[in-house]
Amino acid sequence: MDQLPHGYTNFTRSAAGQVHKTYDGPRRWDNARRELVCLKALGQHLPIATVVEYDLAVPSMTLSLLPGRHGQDLIEEGHAPQVLRLVGATLARLQSFAPWIVDGLDGTGPVIVHGDFGPQNMLFDLTADRVTGVVDWESAHIGSPIEDLAWTEWLVRMHHPEAVDALDDLFAAAQFGPSWSERQAAMVRQIQDLIAYCESAEMTASALEWRDRLRRTEGWTAE
């Protein structure tokens, strides 16, 4: 089996046109359950993998292998405006669904939140101008519309600073434009949650890395 790159997490391998995923970490059973309910409920509405089989006791899952190229690679090749426009349009579509369409997600709010949304967890066919896959639904929950939008911006600012100007394409396609202070506050909250998770799991090195990212994020300005 071949290990999948980028946004694919845990022990994730591909073979014979399928993805085989074994979940890791202290929250692995909850993560697998969240991903499963999202994939089952949203398969008719978004370009996501089909569940071939699963075992929540392990937990593990076998999924169809999605086509397309990874968003981070495409941004690095200079396609940020098109990629972020497609990301924004996909986010608008996700947020158009009533939260109850996915049974079993925790949280409160008006929308389904992917939880790790952005080009790092999406596949694209730019020739056809479309998203071919949205992956990694382990952090999905019900929450605020700003969460996935702000996290996409954070990923661009942190990992693709040369593409910051293309964030206007993201906001326009998402049809949602909260203020910079609101977006930055949402970024900070998510990083704080990640720090708390790392500390509870005794992942000391990861917690320190996220604390450094928190300091950098708090120091950003909108310009």
- For 19, half-sphere exposure in the C-beta direction (CA atoms, 13 angstrom radius) is 23
Total-model pTM: 0.94
Q: What is the pLDDT of residue 14?
A: 85
> Pairing between strand 18-22 and 11-15?
antiparallel
**Cis bond upstream, residue 59 (ω within 30):** yes
Report pLDDT digits (tens) over 29-80: 999 999 999 999 999 999 999 999 999 999 999 999 999 999 999 999 999 9
**Average pLDDT of the residues in 135-142:** 97
Per-residue pLDDT for 2 more than 70?
no
**Alpha helical stretches, state H, the chain:** 28-42, 71-76, 80-95, 146-159, 167-174, 180-200, 204-218
Separation between Cα atoms, residue 62 and residue 52, nearest integer Å = 5
